[in-house]
Structure 1
């Protein structure tokens, strides 16, 4: 077997560099055999110049990850002894997305007319890649970044250095500022990509006061899913109808959330729940839910709550979307011991035909669930922190708490949640209109942990928690026999529930 010569001694390499180093778009087309979209071409053009600083706020399906994979290989193969650092908060996600695309891209190069250069690439299992024979001086590496490790990462220097921040909206100011400070030479580049999930931080600033349009050095690009040929019209319609306004901004339009989005819903939306009256029509086969949130012993401000509600429908969209009427709040107190709470719930629900009991099973709630089950009551155990079951909700929400609270707020805005009692009205208005909302690095809706700064000192929203249980995915109901054509409606309800639960699993 002939000995492999180093890449820089291969007579084909300098002509390769002369043709492709100035033009990552040409590299994508001729070396990888792909056709870039207009958005990708715009990104390549901004990254190409030496000392470029580029920040991309992107919606779904714009080809961002494929573009980054292409530029990683372009930088590795077209510049001598180049160093590329890729940083993110989640290394597992980085391996599952970017490094998968890099592997696919390398195989495309190997099958092209430039297959010879792929033989000089070595991809390792630890999310690194290097040019053979230059293991310590010509490579790509990935590292998770935090305030403690940023200085170590910034210790990398070189004439051809490129730093890429993936899901940069979640990277700390310390990390990004430190890494930017490492770019001391003329040919150093930095690229940040992310869904624009929060209105603060270094990534946000690159689209505002640090942007070229405001006299800064950053080229700020916005990639909308609506303008991407990689997303079908049917998929766009499906997503657009599923999302609320802020989700559309972040996940489709590539825009930062509106300032008003820090809460799940506004006070006017909350007040409207008291004004709309009955929303379940006469004759419709609704069911009863007895919703219970059990105090976890956090002090006088932490109370147990029981809510009686009529419910019908499933999901959060379409003609059969869930509607809920809150009929009574028989219990909202810190004066009931947990070992008596199950009995109090059953007493409250005695007149609710076919009622199902939905109870928070965290902390003391697990004993209440067991007591209800010992009484042969149908119980739905609520575990807020669990991930969603349906695939569409897994992609959209961090956990069940976010799913239920977000869909309850949407129902309130859309007229599908009505409160028919004035019991504890002021408490409920204060709780429901102040639930904080943020986004994860993947644009999923998230409710911050209780007592975090986003809650602004608000105690546990126990009463609103209980109401939100009615909107949890998978919470069913038994249609009341006198509410409509029982045999017909029960069959339709069960069929609808099965379809909703398993449509995308």
Structure 2
């Protein structure tokens, strides 16, 4: 046999072996498509009993607090083609790690697939699911990993088979919502982290774009309350809802806090129960994965808000609109100021007498223009007196107040840190004006005085703030703490607080002159 024949034979043998390997890979991949547990264990090195908790003998007589064997249930849903899955979980259960494993499973098993992971902020993506993807990548050994991107092609110009991180933002603008609608693939997996903080328009955009037969949305998070975006997603009729309780975790059931290092422990659960009470919202959410209806320390009761909605509906015409001429009293405005194109929104609440007509929020890149344009125009169009316009004067709000002052409109400058004012027959003492204004709204709702339009965002803003008595004074928690738990700034809620404060003449209100 000459050299040419030998070379030809060698080439044929190489092709045969390559074909055999490819055949084996295709066979293996077809198996893994419907067996994600085996993929996670065999390909990524997961311990089977950290996913299938029933493999541990201690579970034989375990009484499940949440969904039975939740991680296996999630994997079964994925392998059976369930298209929408919502997971409400306690903290420390390992949902981020399994989310990363699921992302790699989907990407590897379905050719030309697209995996989109999203969270409100970029650091959340980098520190959570993409950190786990980075840890697993040396074992995964496929594609090219860069910041918030894993491309299965060697050529970076090819982008039809990849996983990417998409920053949802804390307040969805038109651009981000449009971009969220732009993800399309035959095999599409959207993993939403920190879902309570992801803006509703983004979630709706994902639902609209994920309409193919193998387009899946998997939403994770720690629930905050029954009006947050995770719980609302889980309540949709086409969503399979799963709850992961810390009391079902192997570290707790096996009574071994080191079984999965860094995960939830019985001591941690007991600590939450002591700190928050066994009916406390944070205990229910962070320990049991239950979406609480209302915090026991909430300033405003959900029941009062719903009753205010009912009063508003009774006032409405058959068209569902308010006939303002039939409402007695003066018109007033409450303005929560912002100064950002993509961050927190501004909000304006408009009401007449004891009826809130509307509350709208919007991006506001210029707080000065907010005063000179939107607020001033509303004052003119609605014939609203300056003394019945309450504006948040803290920080960027000073620009709005000063802009109105330049137009000879001396509105009520409401500084949250200012001293409370003296009001006849008000027995409570307050840490600051902000606490007093929020308390006034609470009392007006509790006593059935005001009517509010049904608005889930407004309701969430109003029922989230908590309060405590401190040194004999009412203290409403800071806006930053509310923002952290709510997932966004309570713009609508603050605007309504300011409207309610200035709709009546309060003694000692100071006007900037």
Give TM-score scaled by structure 2 length: 0.51
Q: Is the 8 A contact 1:150 1:175 kept in 2?
A: yes
**Over 6 Å off, 4+ runs:** 5-9, 295-298, 300-306, 433-438, 444-447
1:223 aligned residue (226, 244, 266):
244
Q: Is the 8 A contact 1:159 1:187 kept in 2?
A: yes
Where does 1:370-449 land on structure 2 (aligned, <5 Å)?
409=468, 412=469, 419=472, 443=485, 448=490
Q: Indicate the SS of the match to 1:86.
A: strand
Unaligned runs of 5+ in 1: 111-117, 211-215, 267-294, 307-330, 335-358, 361-404, 420-427, 461-505
- Using the TM superposition, give the Cα deviation of residue 121 of structure 1 relative to its aligned residue in structure 2, in angstroms: 2.4
Partner of 1:258: 293
Partner of 2:212: 185
Distance, in Å, in 1 between the alignment partners of 2:121 and 2:23 is: 40
C-alpha RMSD of matched pairs (Å): 4.2
Q: Is the 8 A contact 1:121 1:132 kept in 2?
A: yes
What does the per-residue CA deviation read over 1:331-388, in whole Å, with 9 as the maximum and x for residues that have no partner?
9669xxxxxxxxxxxxxxxxxxxxxxxx99xxxxxxxxxxxxxxxxxxxxxxxxxxxx
- Using the TM superposition, give the Cα deviation of residue 418 of structure 1 relative to its aligned residue in structure 2, in angstroms: 6.7
- Using the TM superposition, give the Cα deviation of residue 57 of structure 1 relative to its aligned residue in structure 2, in angstroms: 0.9
Aligned length in residues: 306
Q: 1:257 to 1:436 in 2, by over 3 A?
A: farther
Distance, in Å, in 2 between the alignment partners of 1:262 and 1:6 is: 66
Q: Is the 8 A contact 2:196 2:223 kept in 1?
A: yes
Q: Is the 8 A contact 1:197 1:438 kept in 2?
A: no
Give TM-score scaled by structure 1 length: 0.52
Unaligned runs of 5+ in 2: 1-13, 54-68, 251-262, 302-393, 402-410, 424-430, 433-464, 503-513
Q: 1:299 to 1:7 in 2, by over 3 A?
A: farther
Q: Is it true that 1:233 corresponds to 2:238 in the alignment?
A: no
Partner of 1:161: 188
- Using the TM superposition, give the Cα deviation of residue 51 of structure 1 relative to its aligned residue in structure 2, in angstroms: 4.6
Partner of 2:494: 452
Distance, in Å, in 2 between the alignment partners of 1:451 and 1:89 is: 21
2:276 aligned residue (226, 232, 243):
243
What does the per-residue CA deviation read over 1:22-63, in whole Å, with 9 as the maximum and x for residues that have no partner?
122221222222231433222222222225210011110111
Q: Is it true that 1:19 corresponds to 2:34 in the alignment?
A: no
Where does 1:13-412 land on structure 2 (aligned, <5 Å)?
13-35=25-47, 36=51, 37=53, 38-107=69-138, 110=139, 118-125=140-147, 127-133=148-154, 135-145=158-168, 146=172, 147-200=174-227, 202-208=229-235, 210=236, 216-229=237-250, 230-243=263-276, 245-259=280-294, 263-264=298-299, 299=412, 409=468, 412=469
Distance, in Å, in 2 between the alignment partners of 1:300 and 1:67 is: 50
Q: Indicate the SS of the match to 2:175.
A: coil
Distance, in Å, in 1 between the alignment partners of 2:19 and 2:276 is: 50
Q: 1:219 to 1:51 in 2, by over 3 A?
A: closer
Q: Is the 8 A contact 1:76 1:139 kept in 2?
A: yes
Q: Indicate the SS of the match to 1:94.
A: helix
